[in-house]
């Protein structure tokens, strides 16, 4: 036995001696509960951001018996040790509509000053909606909130956009699924938009240089085919080639791609404000499999020298989809992970640990009695995932 092997062996012995429930700060771990959803409630559509000092903030939508559980808001959790331990620090609450913060949260830290708001301010959004006629009417509203005290308290900043009553039928006019990004000294708010009579649904954005007033609606993905419903914008920066990737789901009537009705598509552009002119591409694995619904995307410099690694997640599978060829449509791979499938999982690459991939999950979209309702996460080595560490364990479970 070579010396290095001996050291590895004793390290392995040490690792297995350590209690599995007590990983070290900023270490790797498989499936850890962040928040146990109260009875009748489930965590749905989680989102996260890493602050400049490495603190993680996670928030989540909730579903089920949420108003009775006093949960018509987005709970916010903080971790200072890379996701090993968590505490709830606040709730993001609707302060203006009387409708609650219903679903689809977004959260980000300001990396630049924008208008009167300073770098380090935390911004959050979400969809506040009402099905029923209330004193305030019915509709969907994407509102912006800010926290100047590290997510302890929140102030209403502005309304970005207003749509009709929540209704996913083509011809109705709601808005959905905000995604916030600071870019070029402005805030960009991306969302799904059913208000344009030329499109069942399209993806669009608006920008603001003061967080109060918002520019015109600019298309990011609008298809000539009326019944196409591109939805659920998430964006990442491919730093090595300075390009931007947008991922979205693309249901088109009853059509399917390899059995997926909400196949995941993407576009790569030089500017995150100019996706509409970029080529739309599908993610297809081995010409036989298409990821389905609510995608998320992150980029890591780990992997290929020129391209790093693009990592995408979907709603229906525990796997992630990786691309180390700068998004080449023929170069997607599928790799298993230990984090179960969930509706609108989120991904994160740690700034100081670019090989550490966090997968943040909650409940599935079609929830059955006995399914996991809790907010949870895994942190895995991206290199090991791509090498297939989990591929052989038979967790290739497509639900």
Ligand X SMILES: *[C@@H]1O[C@H](CO)[C@@H](O)[C@H](O)[C@H]1NC(C)=O
| Interacting residue ranges for ligand X, rule: CB under 6 A | 33, 36-37, 39-40, 65, 68-71, 75, 88, 90-91, 131-132, 165, 167, 169, 171-172, 227, 253-254, 372-374
Least distance CB 322 / ligand X (angstroms): 27
Least distance CB 206 / ligand X (angstroms): 24
**d(Cα 83, Cα 101) in Å, to the nearest integer?**
25
Least distance CB 192 / ligand X (angstroms): 15
Residue 219 pairs with which residues in a beta bridge?
204
**d(Cα 300, Cα 29) in Å, to the nearest integer?**
19
Burial class (CB in 10 A: 0-12, 13-18, 19+), 387: exposed
The nearer residue to ligand X, 40 or 388, going by C-beta atoms, is: 40
The nearer residue to ligand X, 40 or 116, going by C-beta atoms, is: 40
The nearer residue to ligand X, 124 or 298, going by C-beta atoms, is: 124
Least distance CB 36 / ligand X (angstroms): 4
| Coil, helix or strand at residue 12 | helix
Alpha helices in 281-388 (DSSP H): 382-387
Side-by-side strand order, sheet with 29-35: 29-35, 375-381, 353-361, 346-350
Q: Is-contact 229 293, C-beta < 8 A?
A: no
The nearer residue to ligand X, 192 or 323, going by C-beta atoms, is: 192
The nearer residue to ligand X, 169 or 242, going by C-beta atoms, is: 169
Tokens of 322: 């990786």
The nearer residue to ligand X, 65 or 383, going by C-beta atoms, is: 65
CB crowding 179-213: b at 16 or more within 10 Å, else e: bbbbbeebbbbbbbbbbeeebbbbbbbbbbeebee
The nearer residue to ligand X, 199 or 335, going by C-beta atoms, is: 199
| Coil, helix or strand at residue 391 | helix
> Quick one: which of 163, 158, 161 has its CA closest to 213?
158
Least distance CB 330 / ligand X (angstroms): 30
Least distance CB 85 / ligand X (angstroms): 16
Q: What angle do CA 69, 175, 132 make, to 5 degrees?
A: 50
Q: Enter the DSSP assignment of 172.
A: B
CB crowding 72-95: b at 16 or more within 10 Å, else e: bbbbbbbbbebbbebeebbebebe
Least distance CB 372 / ligand X (angstroms): 4
Q: Is-contact 141 128, C-beta < 8 A?
A: yes
How many angstroms separate the Cα of 77 from the Cα of each of 29, 107, 204?
A: 18, 12, 29
Q: Enter the DSSP assignment of 393.
A: G
Least distance CB 86 / ligand X (angstroms): 12
Least distance CB 151 / ligand X (angstroms): 10
Residue 379 pairs with which residues in a beta bridge?
29, 358
The nearer residue to ligand X, 71 or 187, going by C-beta atoms, is: 71
Least distance CB 89 / ligand X (angstroms): 6
The nearer residue to ligand X, 8 or 225, going by C-beta atoms, is: 225
The nearer residue to ligand X, 177 or 372, going by C-beta atoms, is: 372
């Amino acid at each position: 036995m070579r010396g290095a092997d001996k050291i590895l062996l004793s390290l392995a012995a040490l690792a297995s001696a350590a209690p599995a429930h007590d990983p070290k700060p900023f270490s790797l771990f498989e499936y850890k509960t962040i928040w146990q959803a109260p009875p009748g409630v489930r965590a749905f559509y989680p989102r996260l951001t890493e602050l400049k000092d490495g603190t993680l903030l996670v928030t989540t939508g909730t579903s089920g018996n949420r108003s009775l559980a006093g949960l018509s808001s987005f709970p916010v959790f903080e971790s200072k040790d890379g996701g090993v331990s968590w505490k709830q620090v606040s709730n993001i609450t609707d302060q203006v509509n009387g409708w609650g913060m219903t679903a689809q949260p977004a959260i980000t830290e300001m990396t630049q000053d924008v208008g009167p708001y300073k770098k380090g301010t935390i911004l959050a959004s979400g969809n506040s909606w009402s099905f029923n006629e209330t004193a305030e009417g019915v509709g969907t509203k994407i509102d912006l909130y800010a926290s100047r005290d590290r997510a302890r308290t929140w102030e209403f900043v502005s309304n970005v956009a207003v749509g009709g009553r929540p209704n996913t039928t083509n011809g109705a006019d709601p808005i959905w699924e905000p995604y916030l990004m600071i870019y070029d000294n402005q805030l960009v708010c991306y969302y799904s938009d059913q208000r344009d009579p030329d499109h069942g649904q399209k993806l669009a954005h608006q920008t603001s240089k003061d967080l109060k007033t918002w520019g015109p609606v600019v298309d990011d993905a609008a298809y000539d085919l009326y019944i196409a419903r591109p939805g659920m914008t998430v964006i990442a920066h491919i730093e090595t080639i300075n390009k931007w990737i947008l991922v979205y789901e693309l249901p088109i009537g009853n059509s399917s791609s390899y059995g997926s009705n909400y196949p995941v598509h993407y576009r790569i552009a030089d500017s995150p404000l100019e996706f509409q002119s970029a080529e739309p591409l599908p993610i297809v694995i081995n010409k036989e499999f298409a990821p389905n619904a609510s995608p998320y995307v992150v980029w890591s410099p780990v992997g290929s020298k020129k391209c790093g690694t693009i990592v995408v997640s979907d709603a229906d599978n525990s796997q992630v989809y990786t691309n180390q060829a700068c998004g080449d449509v023929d170069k997607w791979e599928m790799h298993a992970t230990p984090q179960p499938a969930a509706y609108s999982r989120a991904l994160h690459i740690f700034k100081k640990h670019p090989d550490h991939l966090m997968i943040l999950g909650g409940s599935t979209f079609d929830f059955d009695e006995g399914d996991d309702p809790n907010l949870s996460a895994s942190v895995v080595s991206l290199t090991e995932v791509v090498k297939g560490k989990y591929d052989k364990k038979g967790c290739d479970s497509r639900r």
